[in-house]
Amino acid sequence: MRKTLSFLLALVMLLSLAACGGGNTPNNNAPQGGSQDNNNGSNQPSGGAQYYNTYLGTDPTSMDISRISDTYSTAIVTNVMEGLVRLGEENGDYVMMPGDAQTWDLSDDGTVWTFHLGDNKWSDGEPVTAEQYVYSLKRSIDPETGCPNDNFLSPIKGYNEIRNNGADPDTLAVEALDEKTLQITLAYPMASFLEMCSNSIYFPLRQDKIEEYGEKYGTEPEYTIFNGPYAMTEWVHNSSITLTKNPHYWDAANVQIETVHYSILGDSSTVYNAYDTGDLDYVSTSEAEWMDKYLSDPDNNDYNQIPSQTLAYSFYNTKDELFQNANIRKAFTLAMDRAELNEMCFSGANIPTFGWINTTISVGSTNFREYAGDTIQEMIDELTAQGKTPKDLLIQGMEELGLGSDPSTLTVTFSLAGTDDWFRTYGEYLQQSYQSTLGINMEISFNDWAIFYDDVQNGNYQIAYMAWGAYYNDPYDMLSLFHTNNDAIMTGWSNAEYDKLVTEALGVQDEAKRIEMYKQAEDILLREECAVCPVLTFVSNYFYRPYVTGYSTLTFGSTGLKGMSTGARP
């Protein structure tokens, strides 16, 4: 099964919410990508000092690519390590750029990938070899390593045997044909495998260094070795990180910025203050007031907006006495005024979302939402056309369950996790709006993430809130989350027809047919069963100082700082 889960991303989003002091910016700290082309044109100004000051919301956990799962670590790793390929950008579209692999071939059956490595070197001058890739991938899949996101390796042949039947990690189908040729055999053809290879888990590792440093590998710059455009030269935990251009990097000629300084700033007002003082060259915000402030001064702030792939949603415990009933779930999904919520809680900064697949995802060249329509809005309209309200649906559901017909006898608990004022406002909004539209009593249960997660895993909740970041530009990514075999969202919901549609669609090559199958699946999920309540898609708003050029404008870009320049710095 092509498993492209990105729970991790979502989790990290959530954790970043938890981590960002008083800010209400879900994407405060998204990694920055960059490429040669962007809205500022490709003429690199020169002359100005090449240094760049940016920030992270939380200290990265480690630089060991096998042991990280947070966006903060990934943001740094992307710049200090080189993988096989990088996902770049050309005229606003993704383009695959060579990394360690200068060229690659795919076998006719679409399962055997052969990568021909160039002559990149590590920061100590040692060459990068295919054997280092083999070591790295096998290390990540070894349960002993405790790699938190090894599911990105799932397309590789042997993965399931090792993962589920305890086979030897050595049986993973990755091979060094010679010093500079790497061969990866997949369990099934997968067109987007190359994109997956830009993920940090596919980066190489040095066995000698890992054995030398042991547990300490990746904890400090002196216990880590780099093969990327930059090397980490200083890491003051919880305070700052300094990257310096790596002279051994194969494409060093295209690395403009000499020094990069990351401040670790956990509080949003500190971030704004640092940007306003000029200590930062970049700031990200989703607070309307700050956006307005920076937008009103376009000479000093280049604005760049990227809809993230992160969808905020509520989900129901379908094993719960009350939420076992589809009409009750529908009532809760339809009773929500997404536009008002966006306005009230986010000052209109995000995108109200009326389907499980968010607005940016497409199948081939067809945008999924445009094809499938705003499902939930349609459902609301249909209900209104029948002269009914969500409350009527709720009462209907209550009667089906034999709970009488008075919603005010119900007390529903809504579970939320995260230590941020943003969550509080959100919870209060939901509480008030549900109480007034459905006439029920609602209690909000706030907990720290560990307790929340424990409760959700044990089915000890009624409705809960989470956010999920899609990793791939294909509806399968989001739809597979509700497959019976997937326990990422513990709703307890299971539907054989849905499972069949989602699994089969994956193998369908005809795009028109595939998108239709996805639409049918989504209709089961929302229209018929309503197991989930999509709310909105987060939007990231980036501001750069005008002398910063070459940054990425696409969410999944992985060129990092490589193409950026501050040559126009006064």
Examine residue 451 and tell whether it contacts other proteins (CB under 8 A).
yes
Closest distance of CB 552 from other proteins, Å: 25
CB 271 within 8 A of CB 23: yes
**Alpha-carbon dihedral angle through residues 196, 87, 127, 240, given to the nearest 10 degrees:** -100
Q: Which of 1, 176, 344, 508 is in the footprint of other proteins by CB under 8 A?
A: 344
Closest CA to 198 of 64, 310, 101: 101
Q: Which of 112, 383, 403, 444 is in the footprint of other proteins by CB under 8 A?
A: 444
Examine residue 263 and tell whether it contacts other proteins (CB under 8 A).
yes
- Looking only at residues 37 through 66 of this chain, which bind other proteins when binding is defined by CB under 8 A? 59, 61-62, 64
Closest distance of CB 128 from other proteins, Å: 23
Residue 549: how many CB atoms within 10 A of its CB?
A: 24
- Bridge partners (DSSP) of residue 178 are 181
Distance CA 93, CA 89 (A): 5
The nearer residue to other proteins, 212 or 497, going by C-beta atoms, is 212
Examine residue 259 and tell whether it contacts other proteins (CB under 8 A).
no
Distance CA 199, CA 152 (A): 8
Instruction: Report how many residues bind other proteins under the rule CB under 8 A.
Output: 88
Q: Is 252 helix (H, G, I), strand (E, B) or coil?
A: helix
User: Which span (91-99, 328-336, 342-350, 468-476) binds other proteins, by CB under 8 A?
Assistant: 342-350
Closest distance of CB 528 from other proteins, Å: 27
Distance CA 12, CA 467 (A): 9
Residue 42: exposure state from Cβ atoms within 10 A (0-12, 13-18, ≥19): exposed
Q: Which of 431, 494, 503, 553 is in the footprint of other proteins by CB under 8 A?
A: 431
Examine residue 207 and tell whether it contacts other proteins (CB under 8 A).
no
User: Which span (4-12, 91-99, 200-208, 399-407) binds other proteins, by CB under 8 A?
Assistant: 4-12
Q: How many residues does the chain have?
A: 570
Angle at 30 between CA 25 and CA 35, to 5 degrees: 140
CB 482 within 8 A of CB 490: no
Examine residue 413 and tell whether it contacts other proteins (CB under 8 A).
no
Q: Which of 289, 399, 510, 528 is in the footprint of other proteins by CB under 8 A?
A: 289
User: Which span (272-280, 379-387, 469-477, 512-520) binds other proteins, by CB under 8 A?
Assistant: 272-280
User: Which span (193-201, 367-375, 397-405, 444-452) binds other proteins, by CB under 8 A?
Assistant: 444-452
Examine residue 1 and tell whether it contacts other proteins (CB under 8 A).
no
CB 67 within 8 A of CB 73: no
- Looking only at residues 462 through 521 of this chain, which bind other proteins when binding is defined by CB under 8 A? 487-488
For the chain, what is the largest distance between any 2 Cα atoms, rounded to a whole number of angstroms? Answer: 76
Q: Which residues contact 548 (CB under 8 A, 6 or more apart)?
A: 52, 281, 282, 302, 564, 565, 566
User: Which span (96-104, 149-157, 183-191, 530-538) binds other proteins, by CB under 8 A?
Assistant: 149-157
CB 220 within 8 A of CB 234: no
Residue 298: how many CB atoms within 10 A of its CB?
A: 11
Q: Which residues contact 477 (CB under 8 A, 6 or more apart)?
A: 4, 5, 6, 361, 470, 471
User: Which span (83-91, 429-437, 469-477, 523-531) binds other proteins, by CB under 8 A?
Assistant: 429-437
Distance CA 451, CA 102 (A): 47
DSSP string for 377-426: HHHHHHHHHTT--HHHHHHHHHHHTT--S-GGG-EEEEEEE-SSHHHHHH
Torsions phi, psi of 310, nearest 5?
-95, 120
- Looking only at residues 381 through 400 of this chain, which bind other proteins when binding is defined by CB under 8 A? none
Show the binding pattern over residues 96-135: x = contacts other proteins (CB under 8 A), - = does not.
----------------------------------------
- Check residue 469 and report its DSSP letter: E
Examine residue 336 and tell whether it contacts other proteins (CB under 8 A).
no
Examine residue 215 and tell whether it contacts other proteins (CB under 8 A).
yes
Q: Which of 43, 277, 365, 386 is in the footprint of other proteins by CB under 8 A?
A: 277
Q: Which of 124, 170, 216, 409 is in the footprint of other proteins by CB under 8 A?
A: 216
Distance CA 50, CA 563 (A): 12
The nearer residue to other proteins, 229 or 418, going by C-beta atoms, is 418
Closest distance of CB 372 from other proteins, Å: 27
- Check residue 283 and report its DSSP letter: E
Examine residue 428 and tell whether it contacts other proteins (CB under 8 A).
yes
| Residue 90, token pair as written in the block | 């050309």
The nearer residue to other proteins, 194 or 444, going by C-beta atoms, is 444
The nearer residue to other proteins, 275 or 323, going by C-beta atoms, is 275
CB 145 within 8 A of CB 138: no
Show the binding pattern over residues 217-236: x = contacts other proteins (CB under 8 A), - = does not.
xxx---x------------x
Examine residue 18 and tell whether it contacts other proteins (CB under 8 A).
yes
Closest distance of CB 267 from other proteins, Å: 5
User: Which span (27-35, 163-171, 328-336, 537-545) binds other proteins, by CB under 8 A?
Assistant: 163-171
Closest distance of CB 88 from other proteins, Å: 28
Examine residue 139 and tell whether it contacts other proteins (CB under 8 A).
no
| Residue 130, token pair as written in the block | 């295919």
Examine residue 254 and tell whether it contacts other proteins (CB under 8 A).
no
The nearer residue to other proteins, 199 or 552, going by C-beta atoms, is 199
User: Which span (90-98, 412-420, 469-477, 560-568) binds other proteins, by CB under 8 A?
Assistant: 412-420
Q: Which of 181, 185, 207, 240 is in the footprint of other proteins by CB under 8 A?
A: 240
Closest distance of CB 68 from other proteins, Å: 8
Distance CA 302, CA 307 (A): 17
